[in-house]
Chain A
Amino acid sequence: MFAVETEALSRIYKIKKTRKEPAHTLVALDNVNLTVNQGELFGLLGPNGAGKTTLIKVLTTLLAPSSGVARVNGLDVARQPEDIRRQINMVSGGETSGYGLLTVRENLWMFTQFYGIPSKQANARIMELLKIVGLEDRANTKSSNLSTGLRQKMNIVRGFMTDPTVLFLDEPTLGLDVGAARDVRRFVRQWVNEDRRRTLLLTTHYMVEAEEMCDRVAIINQGKILACDTPQRLKASLSTEGVFSIQVSALDEVDFEDLKQIAGLRQGTLKQIEGGAQLELVLADDSVLASLINFLTAKGSQITTLHKREATLEDVFISLVGKSMKDVENGSPD
């Protein structure tokens, strides 16, 4: 049995901006087929608006699928939502749940009551978890007085407090400083390692986070799963190709479009930097470099640095989508 399983799962939103205007459709999930094994820390990697949160909403029974099937621990989200709710929990990045006038401990206690945990056990568990995440001294602080990072730690504790068998973390480190994000990642990894019956599905748009934490990663864009494997294998898929970082004295967008026509240049991004431009290119093999250098020379652009590097998940994303995750989020043209 899989912890999470989807078959041809689609979710379509009908959106109406005004009452008079006819509704237009937005495909948030498009024929998604996915399996997550029990005991796995699984990452969904994609830009904002890719469909990650929609998938989490469907799996946590907050949103009905438009078509297809989604199961959590073998239970159908559409037919057995109450059974699923006993086994799951969810934490979202930047969430402002709870009540500001309650203390951290009171907020956490309140949520344990919705899971039927006796107060004595709940209070002991709360203090234990607060100690682990370093929030013990804030137990009696009103949650409205917490910083974003501390508040997110409280949310993380809320998610783990009920011993879910499947935990959904939607951008858990969003808005956290480097130290707090590191603490959260370490805690999450330890929690999964501790008991192989626990499964964690994490969405993120931070490549490093996915690479560092996840057993397997699915890359999602425009509601479609483009690739799904271990981070190592996804990166290895680019090993026959060459990933190059090249700094040049100057190169504009128009010339870059011409450059992309070079035979053997798989994908590439251009970023203007101080004193020139930065190219990140995926080449079919090293021999393509000769054509590339000829092209740049013809355009009067000098190469200041060039190095071949190991592929990252960002490169995998670029090779699949054709542009960087940032460019997708900024809506830059294809």
Chain B
Amino acid sequence: MALQTKITRNSGFRLFLQSVIGRAYPRIIGTQRDLAWLFFDIFLPFISMVAYVFIYRALKAPEEYIGFVVLGSAMTAYWLNILWAMSSQLYWEKETGNLALYVISPASMMAILFGMASGGLFATTVRALFILIIGNWLFQVSYTITSFWALFLVFILTMVALYGLGMMLSSLFLLFNREAWHTANLLQAPVMLFSGFYFPVKVFNFWIAAAASLIPLTLGMDAIRQLVFPSGALLGFLTVKVELIVLAVLSVVFLAGAYFTLRWMEKLAIRYGRITDRLG
């Protein structure tokens, strides 16, 4: 039975990269294999998008508000992904036994989390694009992009900060076990309200809007609106430049936070036996 195939092993950055790709793979391939997302992640958000559009039309709101709703609906997909597929992911990985296998492998847990995040980002972008395309086609939304590169930078920084937050939360959720489920439920609706998914966050007073800005989507969406709608700048909470700086700071803070909470979680989980719950 002597094995004929000899194997070698990479280490360092190549191992890190392989681990990221390996963990991203199930999420990317899942988009093709499990088509239930077309109903749950496209059709259901689409219904709530239509409801908001009709509300704005009934109120005779400026036509750009329809664009706000379509854009907000697309961005909702990212928040739901952060809550349900990113934050609570390590908890579910523990339940299935994958977490123990990740921990005993030479891969760094940070690489595993990056893999989850990048796979989730890819899959969610597909969903968000679907919503955006259907919404634009149905409601004839028009965009006037003032700076493509600024728009690109805002989107990238928003995603880095957002998925950094998701990576940080996943470690915390693992430690809180079952409470994680309730926390995710608790965070879903209030954040959708205060981050201004369907309206400009400027309608709140400064301090509420500032507090809501801790969720990167708040400033990300605000900046995107300013860059793609003519009246966006008038309705913007802060200038795009300031929002870019805050998003860059949030990116660094959340990624560093993810690194340190992950180390802390791993240490505590190994000390208290929370990576696997089975006693034997």
Contacts and interface: CB of A to CB of B under 8 A. Distances in A.
Interface of A: 13, 26, 28, 48-54, 56-57, 60-64, 82, 85-86, 88-90, 92, 95-99, 101-102, 106, 109-118, 121-122, 124-125, 128-129, 132, 142, 162-163, 170, 187, 190-191, 194, 203
Interface residues of B, number: 44
B51 to A, nearest CB: 32
Contacts of A191: 1
Interface centre among B2, B5, B6 (most CB of A within 10 A): B5
A251 B208 CA distance: 79
B1 to A, nearest CB: 5
Contact of B15 (A89, A98, A116, A163): A116
B97 to A, nearest CB: 4
Interface string B87-116: 000000000111011111111000010000
A277 to B, nearest CB: 32
Contacts of A86: 9, 106
A97 B97 contact: yes
Contacts of A118: 8, 10
A115 B106 contact: yes
Given A63-B273, A110-B22, A121-B7, A132 B1 contact: yes
Interface of A is mostly: mixed
A98 B278 CA distance: 18
B3 A113 contact: no
Given A61-B104, A85-B105, A96-B97, 15 more contacts: A49-B279, A49-B280, A50-B280, A57-B276, A57-B280, A62-B270, A92-B97, A97-B97, A113-B22, A114-B105, A115-B9, A116-B19, A125-B5, A187-B1, A194-B2
Interface stretch (B26-34, B148-156, B186-194): B26-34
B225 interface: no
Interface of B: 1-11, 14-15, 18-19, 21-23, 25-26, 29-30, 33-34, 96-98, 100-107, 112, 270-271, 273, 275-276, 278-280
Contacts of A203: 280
Nearest to B111: A114
A116 B22 CA distance: 10
B279 A28 contact: yes
A101 B30 contact: yes
| Closest 9 A/B residue pairs (Cβ) | A53-B280, A113-B22, A116-B10, A116-B15, A114-B107, A114-B105, A113-B18, A125-B5, A124-B5
